[in-house]
Amino acid sequence: MNTQASTDFDRIQNAIGYIHAHFREQPQLEEIAASIHLSPFHFQKLFTEWAGVSPKKFLQYITIEHAKKILKENDATLFDTAIETGLSGTGRLHDLFINIEGMTPGEYKNGGESLSINYSFAESPFGNILVASTPRGICYMAFADNRDKEFDGLKKLFPKASFRQMTDRIQQNVLHIFTDKWEKPEQVKLHLKGTEFQIKVWETLLRIPLGQMTTYGSIAKTLNNPNASRAVGSAVGDNPVAFLIPCHRVIQSTGVLGNYHWGSNRKAAMIGWEASRATN
C-alpha cells in the first residue's frame, strides 16, 4: 500500500468514528460525507472501494443490534462450530494455517536474550503496522500510528533481544492476511511470549470465524473457567499480534463493541470490514 491508501484510511476511520457515535440516529450519506468534508458522491465511491460495501450497509454491520444478532445466533456454539467446520474459505484460512509455538520458560524469563528479531513497517487497510519475527515465527504485530512508540513497545516485550530492521519471508507471508491471497498460503507460525493461560486465550481467539463476534464470558466458559471473564479480558488486551489473533472480535455481552488498544474506531472498522467480506 502507498501513502494515498493510508490517507484514505484516515478518512475512512473518521467516517467510521462519526457512524459509531451517531448510529442510533442512522445518519444519511450526506451527513457522514459532510463530517469528513467530502461530497456524497466521492465519499460513497471511496468508502465502497475500501469496505467492499456501501456506507449504509456498513452502518448495519457495526450497530449494536447487529452485534446482538450475531451473538444470539452464534454465542452458544461458536467455538464448536468453528472447530467442526475447519473455518474453510478465502479470508478464513489464516485460522487453519496458524500454529502457536509458545516460548520456553527460559526464553520467557530472560526477556528474549539471544533472540534475533527482524522487524519492518508496512501498510494495511487499517493504517501503518509494525510486524516483527524470529526464525520461529511472528512474535509481534501492532498498528503503528507512532512508529517510535510501537517499536518501544516491541523492545519492552523483549528487552534483551537484538533487533534488525528488515523484511523477511515470515513477515511477507503473514501480511497476506490483509488481502485475498490465501488460496495457497504457506504455514504461518506465531512465536509468542505469554503465560499458559494467555496462550490458551489467544488460541481460542483464533477459532472465532471471520465476521463473527464473541464475548469475554463466552471465552471463559470455553476454557472451563466461567468466573475468569476479567482474566480473559486482561489476556485479550495483552495480545501481542494485532488483527492476526483477532482480539477485535471480542465485544461486550450487551453488543457494545467496547474499547480497543489501537482505538475503538479502528476496531469498528475491522469488524465492519470483516463482516462485509464474510457476507460477500
Q: Which of 247, 250, 268, 271 is catalytic?
A: 247
Q: Which three cell numbers stand for residue 80?
A: 464448536
Q: Which three cell numbers stand for residue 273?
A: 470490514
Phi, psi of 99 (to 5 degrees): -120, 135
Eight-class DSSP state of 86: T
Degrees to nearest 5, angle at CA 204 with 126 and 84: 105
Eight-class DSSP state of 167: -
At residue 222, what is the residue type? T
What does the alpha-carbon distance between residue 268 and residue 273 come to, in Å, rounded to a whole number? 8
Q: How many CB atoms lie within 10 A of CB 198?
A: 20
247 has catalytic annotation: yes
Beta bridge partners of 255: none
Eight-class DSSP state of 249: G
Catalytic annotation, residues = 247
